[in-house]
Amino acid sequence: MTFEPVIAAIRFGEGLAPAIPLAPDVDALLAALTGPDRAAEAFPIAPFSQAYPSIRDHRDASLAVRQAEGAAAQQAAEAARDAVRAAGRDALARQVMMALGRSTLTGDGLRERLTRFWADHFTVRAVQGITRHLVAPYVQEAIRPHVTGRFSDMLRAAVTHPMMLIFLDQVQSMGPNSRAARNNDRGLNENLARELLELHTLGVGGAYDQRDVRELAELLTGLTFHPERGFLFRHAQAEPGPEVVLGRSYGGADPATLDEVLAVFDDLAAHPDTARHIARKLAVHFVADDPDPGLVAALEDRFAATGGDLLAVTEALLTHPAAWAPAPRKVKPPFDFVASALRALGVPAAAFHNATLQQARGLAHRPLRLMGQSWQEPVGPDGWPEAAEAWITPQGMAARITWAMEAPGQILDRLPDPRDFVHHALGPEPPGEVVFAAHAAEQVSDGIGIVLASPAFNRR
């Protein structure tokens, strides 16, 4: 089994598109992946450091309400606070449309898929609903630039990012014997340390125990965030070392330094269990819920041999025979379903740039929630599930069918002919029963909906 352009577009990209040529080989996929990020340029999402409203903006607006004196001042402060919150909602709506625009019109679908995979691996969620619009900027800043770089660099960027520190309560963590703890009742928080070991690096069943979690949590004290200054390492909050993690001693400097923390990140990134964990996650995400052991081994070996070079690992994925099995063995998550449908329909860029808040809610936010994948709201730090049964549920399938029947006519003034669309969406050899149904549909919208709701379109 070797490279096949249609499989490449569906399994490793965002799907087929009527006006976007298919990559002819693996080299073309990798060349696009390492080239300019055209999709991000065409559909911009501000990085966290430039996002509005920021955490500071929300804080200042709420503080102004609390400090307002007199009815008029109170009313003005509340109006200003509400305007900041409305700006956040507008930003969130625009972000989902920019993300869908990228997926719909990119010639580099692999970059979008890898960005979502790694963003899920390093999942964050807004602790307060009013900051949901800051998750996509986190991905833009900490994840997307590193999908072809070294895993250790992405690990550093993600784990020290303000959104991660806030999400896992690291900003509340304080070394029990630190200088800051003398006048504060806050204690040690193990959330970040546990997820760093269990989810981000070694994985469940990796070579660590509760003592390693505790020692790592003590080493991580000092990592924090300030609304004005951004990411900080506060020496006064850091637990005096040394700490022993996986049998190696870290820290001990007085005052404690960030370099001690970065050293443990690099060691965790290079651990054999991390290579094994990442290899299996990649194979499960892109190929099958029960991937070929040879594929997993090849990815693990490439990760270990290259020191976590993610471009090299991606190449190993794309060049392994097991990656090209003809039968689709994965179910598209809701976002991927919607994105690939818009792509197959050939929705133009203007539809994404000009979408109103109400249109974004109707086309994406509300349907994604009904399908089981609310935009930027994973249930927990382990991200979205991979198993097919998580997405093939009665409610989820009903929502997909409803979207397939209604949404195309809402976003396009003129729908394509279903007899042509079945090939645009499914490739040159679509299942006969889907072709028959598309040809037999009484209305154009019914034919389009039948194709998009078919098992053939929902799998890859």
**What is the distance of C-alpha 347 from the center of its chain?**
23
**pLDDT band, residue 127 (cuts 50/70/90):** confident
Query: Could you tell me what percent of the chain has a pLDDT over 90?
Result: 92
CA-based end-to-end distance of the chain: 16
Same structural domain, 342 and 246: no
Task: With residue 28 as reference, give the H or E element that holds it.
Answer: helix 26-34
Instruction: Give the total number of structural domains in the chain.
Output: 2
Q: Write down which residue in 269, 285, 305 finishes a domain.
A: 269
The phi, psi pair for 412, rounded to 5°, reads: -115, 135
- Three-point CA angle 97, 47, 167, nearest 5°: 95
Residue 119 lies in a domain: no
Neighbours of 284 (CB within 10 A): 16
| Residues ≥6 apart with Cβ < 8 Å to 430 | 422, 423, 456
For residues 116-142, average pLDDT: 95
Q: To the nearest whole number, what is the mean pLDDT of the chain?
A: 96
Q: Write down which residue in 228, 248, 269 finishes a domain.
A: 269
For residues 145-164, average pLDDT: 98
Range of the domain at 423: 334-458
Residue 143 lies in a domain: no
**pLDDT band, residue 404 (cuts 50/70/90):** very high
Same structural domain, 356 and 454: yes
Before 242, cis peptide (omega within 30)?
yes
Residue 182: its pLDDT value, please?
84
Nearest to 335 by CA among 395, 400, 382: 400
Q: What whole-number distance in Å separates Cα of residue 51 and Cα of residue 123?
A: 19
Residue 11 lies in a domain: no
Residue 72 lies in a domain: no
Residue 127 lies in a domain: no
For residues 97-120, average pLDDT: 99
**Three-state DSSP class for residue 403:** helix
Residue 439 lies in a domain: yes
Place of tokens 């979205």: 384
For residues 134-149, average pLDDT: 98
Q: Write down which residue in 252, 269, 286 finishes a domain.
A: 269
| Residues ≥6 apart with Cβ < 8 Å to 104 | 14, 17, 339, 342, 343, 347, 352
b or e along 202-227 (b: 16 or more beta carbons within 10 Å of the residue's beta carbon)? Answer: bbeebebeeebbbbbbbbbbbbbbee
Residue 259 lies in a domain: yes
For residues 357-368, average pLDDT: 96
Whole-structure pTM over 0.85, yes or no? yes
Residue 151 lies in a domain: no
* Paired residues of 231 in beta bridges: 225
Query: Could you tell me what percent of the chain has a pLDDT over 70?
Result: 100
* Paired residues of 224 in beta bridges: 232
Write out the DSSP string of 297-366.
Answer: HHHHHHHHHTTSBHHHHHHHHHTSGGGG-SS---BPPHHHHHHHHHHHHT--HHHHHT--HHHHIIIIIH
Encode pLDDT of 223-258 as tens digits: 999 998 889 999 999 999 899 999 999 988 777 889
For residues 169-183, average pLDDT: 91
**pLDDT band, residue 1 (cuts 50/70/90):** confident
Is the pLDDT confidence value at 184 over 90?
no
Is the pLDDT confidence value at 286 over 90?
yes
Same structural domain, 345 and 419: yes
For residues 166-192, average pLDDT: 92
